[in-house]
Amino acid sequence: MGRNIGILVFLYMISFCNSRANEFASDAEALMESVYYDSAPGAAVLIANGDSILFEGYYGIADMETQTPVDSSTVFNIASISKQFVVASILKLQEDGKLSIDDEVAKYFPEYGNDIWKKVKLKHIMSQSSGIPDLRPRGDRNFMLYATDSQSMEYFNELDSLKFKPGSEYDYVNPTFLLLAEIIHRIEGVEFVDFQNCNIFKPAGMTSTSYFNPDVKIPHSAHGYVANDDATMNMTDMDSDKRRDRAEDYFVDKKGRQWAECDYGEETFFATRPDGGIYSTARDLLKWENMLSTHEYIGAESLNDAYGRHAKVSGSGFSTYQNRPHTWYGYGWFVDDTPGRCMKIYHTGDNGGFQAYLAKYAGSSVKVIILSNRNDVDRWKLQGDIEDLLIKYGIL
């Protein structure tokens, strides 16, 4: 009799857990449907706990011209989430004894003759605290639209001053991550993209993930879109403040809203790769997260160091990007240690009409992935609402 009662209790617990999981998924679906709708650019949303997917949803249109809907195969530009991939490879080379993140940049770029490069260490670049300014020539529109990695690095050779003492402040800068990729190239003797494909994408099974190449069409790729109105994008979780003027060519959704395409050829600095050039799917990013959590690429010590609080973002006088209370930058990841909440390790990404978010929580196996091809959604509110649901259902 006792054994039968035990079985009944076990079955009840399974039923209860399944019911709670279904309720969570139902609430998550209602939340997403309040944000995205079928005829406009949309998003891929995936919430997982370890290997178990708690919620997976696909919304809106990937390509407004062909009216191709977003689905599990849709590939999005993940923008600045790309930075953690180059950081992970630098940490891997450190584990292999091929470099140290305490190395001076001057060690790898002897052609940069100014002494400032002896002050900047690899870890300063990785923590967005290098003091290196972004002096790419913004007066040249053609350069801004089509500049490659090497072209975007040209100003480094003439740089003769820093904005602040390396390691003392936070300033979110993109082109510095091109230096890290070039260091990998110089140490390994292979192109950076080939190194990443061989050491990360293929071993992780990320078959739909690649770096942007203007000469290669990415299968199932979404286009990025911006609402076609005359407005200044000025949100603290966006990579930069940009004015969007109305475009002559646009698409109209069923609600009458206009959407202008905004990716390569329409958006500035789209072609650089280490700082923001990865295209991927939500499912592939989950594979990346699982590769990290099982230490298949870098060990626990390296990963914990990457998730450390190395540069204080909150209150920075140099950058507005993610400049929120209780926020730090690790090595390629932001860290949010808001009191009363689980510590969140995350990164955002903005590139043209693409908007991305990837987060995990300290002491938990929960991951949240949001990839969108429209940039008008209040991403921080959306992730906060998801977090509230995770807490409501006892998942966090």
Q: Could you please report the per-residue DSSP string of 75-109? A: BEE-GGGGHHHHHHHHHHHHHTTS--TTSBGGGT-
How open is the CA angle 292-81-213, to the nearest 5 degrees?
Answer: 110
Q: Which residue has the higher pLDDT, 156 or 237?
A: 156
Domain boundaries, the chain: 76-218+267-392
- Report the C-alpha gap between 175 and 192 in whole angstroms: 15
Query: Measuring CA to CA, how many Å separate 366 from each of 13, 32, 279?
Result: 21, 18, 23
Classify domain 76-218+267-392 by CATH number: 3.40.710.10
Q: What is the pLDDT of residues 270-321, one digit of tens each?
A: 999 999 999 999 999 999 999 999 999 999 999 999 999 999 999 999 999 9
pLDDT of residue 20: 86
pLDDT of residue 206: 98
Q: What is the pLDDT of residues 65-109, one digit of tens each?
A: 999 999 999 999 999 999 999 999 999 999 999 999 999 999 999
pLDDT at 12 over 70: no
pLDDT at 1 over 80: no
pLDDT band for 219, please (50, 70, 90 cuts): very high
Q: Which residue has the higher pLDDT, 123 or 4?
A: 123
Say if CB 188 and CB 86 are below 8 A apart: no
Say if CB 313 and CB 336 are below 8 A apart: no
pLDDT of residue 11: 39
pLDDT of residue 18: 73
- Report the C-alpha gap between 3 and 281 in whole angstroms: 46
pLDDT band for 149, please (50, 70, 90 cuts): very high
Q: What is the pLDDT of residues 225-269, one digit of tens each?
A: 999 875 545 444 555 555 667 788 999 999 999 999 999 999 888
User: What is the pTM (predicted TM-score) of this model?
Assistant: 0.93
Helices (H) then strands (E): counts for the chain: 11, 18
pLDDT of residue 247: 83
- Report the C-alpha gap between 20 and 389 in whole angstroms: 11
Say if CB 172 and CB 125 are below 8 A apart: no
pLDDT of residue 231: 53
pLDDT band for 341, please (50, 70, 90 cuts): very high
Q: Can you tell me which residue has the tokens 């905004």?
A: 262
- Report the C-alpha gap between 259 and 309 in whole angstroms: 39
Q: What is the DSSP string of 286-344?
A: HHHHHHHHTTSSS-HHHHHHHTS--EE-TT-SS--TT--TTEEE-SSSEEE--TTS--E
pLDDT of residue 4: 53
pLDDT of residue 229: 77
pLDDT of residue 238: 58
pLDDT of residue 9: 37
Average pLDDT over residues 131-160: 95
